[in-house]
């Protein structure tokens, strides 16, 4: 008889122990939610909500301590759970708002920096444009000045020599009578004065290739005429070099009587055929001049 009573008491005590050992799910969830909230951004951004949730949880715990099985425990735990979740959500919301403010500030900073960079680039571009414009203006003025000097030099040249334009370039013709004694390839003193003016005019033209051509009339031996014409061409070339013309830009050619410009049967025609022509190339291209050939003048015309 005593045994059933003892077993019943043990059973009741076990049930009581089980009943008090496990809190209701709502309270367990509320405790977990509170822990999550405390470890999240709510601890920084939602302290008031966190405090309210803690108070709610404390009320639930108090109710559980005084009457574990009462329906009040479940309701208060439920409210504590929601308030802990609310604190967590509000903490995350405030964190997102703070992040947005930070990003907006970064954006404004970037926009300001971009503006500064753009203004700097614009200023640089304007400065470069101004420099380019000034450079172009200087070049234009230099070209105009060079052209003016070349024209002036050419006008000056026309007073001492015949000047004409041909496809091969500007041809300056100097009479052989003025430059050399008959049959000689040594420049006369008067020729040097003329060639000084020619040299000045050629220098004003800038760096151009020159061909100095010697020509004779048709009298005498053609081979002698060719040697004489070449010697005279060299004499003129060498003199021009002494007056500052770059030697590498001048070629001396002896044409002999092969390219007359007048009738060789008359004295006047032959006089015109005895000449030296300086051909100024139309472009700025320069070619290596042929080395002067060391042929002593043999013909005397």
Partner 1 sequence: MRSAAFALFATVVATLGACAGTQTTSQHLASTQASISAAAAIGAAREPTGALHLQYAREEYAQADNLSRDGEIEAADRMFLRAQSDAELAGALARRQDARRAADEARARAEAAQPSMAPAPVAPPAPPAPPAPPAPAAR
Q: Is 166 exposed, middle or buried (0-12, 13-18, 19+ CB in 10 A)?
A: exposed
d(CA 150, CA 261): 27
Residue 39 binds partner 1, judged by CB under 8 A: no
Whether residue 246 contacts residue 281, with contact meaning beta carbons closer than 8 Å, is answered with no
Q: How far is the CB of 16 from partner 1 (least distance, A)?
A: 21
From first CA to last CA, the distance across the chain in angstroms is: 172
Between 78 and 239, CB nearer to partner 1: 78
Residue 231 binds partner 1, judged by CB under 8 A: no
Residue that has been written with the tokens 């208060």 in this structure: 76
Q: Which two tokens stand for residue 265?
A: 């049967």
Site track 93-132 with partner 1 (rule: CB under 8 A), x = hit: xx-xx-xx--xx-xx--xx-xx------------------
Q: Which two tokens stand for residue 98?
A: 């703070």
Between 10 and 48, CB nearer to partner 1: 48
Strands 250-256 and 275-280: unpaired
Residue 78 binds partner 1, judged by CB under 8 A: yes
Whether residue 297 contacts residue 231, with contact meaning beta carbons closer than 8 Å, is answered with yes
Residue 71 binds partner 1, judged by CB under 8 A: yes
Please count the residues of this chain forming the interface with partner 1, following the rule CB under 8 A: 34
- Helix (H, G, I), strand (E, B), or coil: what is residue 166? strand
Residue 55 binds partner 1, judged by CB under 8 A: no
Between 38 and 93, CB nearer to partner 1: 93
Between 79 and 298, CB nearer to partner 1: 79
Q: How far is the CB of 63 from partner 1 (least distance, A)?
A: 10
CA-angle at 257, arms to 254 and 261, nearest 5° = 110
User: Which residues would be at the binding site for partner 1 (CB under 8 A)?
Assistant: 25-26, 29, 33, 36, 71-72, 74-76, 78-79, 81-83, 85-86, 89-90, 92-94, 96-97, 99-100, 103-104, 106-107, 110-111, 113-114
């Amino acid at each position: 008889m005593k045994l059933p009573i003892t077993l019943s008491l043990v059973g009741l005590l076990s049930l009581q122990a089980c009943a008090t050992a496990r809190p209701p799910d709502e309270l367990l969830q509320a405790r977990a939610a509170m822990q999550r909230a405390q470890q999240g951004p709510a601890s920084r951004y939602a302290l008031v909500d966190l405090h309210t949730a803690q108070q709610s949880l404390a009320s639930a715990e108090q109710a559980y301590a005084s009457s574990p099985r009462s329906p009040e425990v479940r309701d208060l735990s439920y409210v504590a759970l929601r308030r802990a979740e609310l604190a967590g959500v509000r903490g995350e919301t405030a964190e997102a708002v703070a992040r947005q403010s930070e990003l907006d500030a970064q954006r404004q900073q970037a926009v300001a920096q971009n503006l500064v960079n753009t203004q700097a680039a614009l200023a640089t571009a304007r400065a470069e444009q101004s420099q380019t414009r000034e450079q172009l203006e200087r070049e234009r003025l230099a070209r105009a000045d060079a052209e003016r000097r070349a024209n002036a030099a050419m006008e000056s040249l026309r007073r001492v020599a015949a000047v004409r334009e041909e496809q091969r370039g500007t041809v300056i013709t100097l009479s052989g009578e003025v430059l050399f004694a008959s049959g000689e390839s040594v420049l006369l003193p008067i020729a040097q004065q003329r060639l000084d003016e020619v040299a000045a005019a050629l220098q004003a033209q800038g760096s151009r290739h020159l061909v100095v051509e010697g020509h004779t009339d048709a009298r005498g031996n053609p081979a002698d005429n060719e040697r004489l014409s070449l010697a005279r061409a060299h004499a003129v070339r060498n003199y021009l070099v002494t007056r500052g013309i770059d030697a590498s830009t001048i070629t001396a050619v002896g044409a002999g009587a092969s390219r007359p410009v007048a009738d060789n049967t008359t004295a006047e025609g032959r006089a015109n055929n005895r000449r030296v022509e300086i051909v100024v190339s139309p472009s700025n291209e320069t070619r290596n001049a042929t080395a002067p050939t060391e042929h002593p003048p043999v013909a005397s015309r």
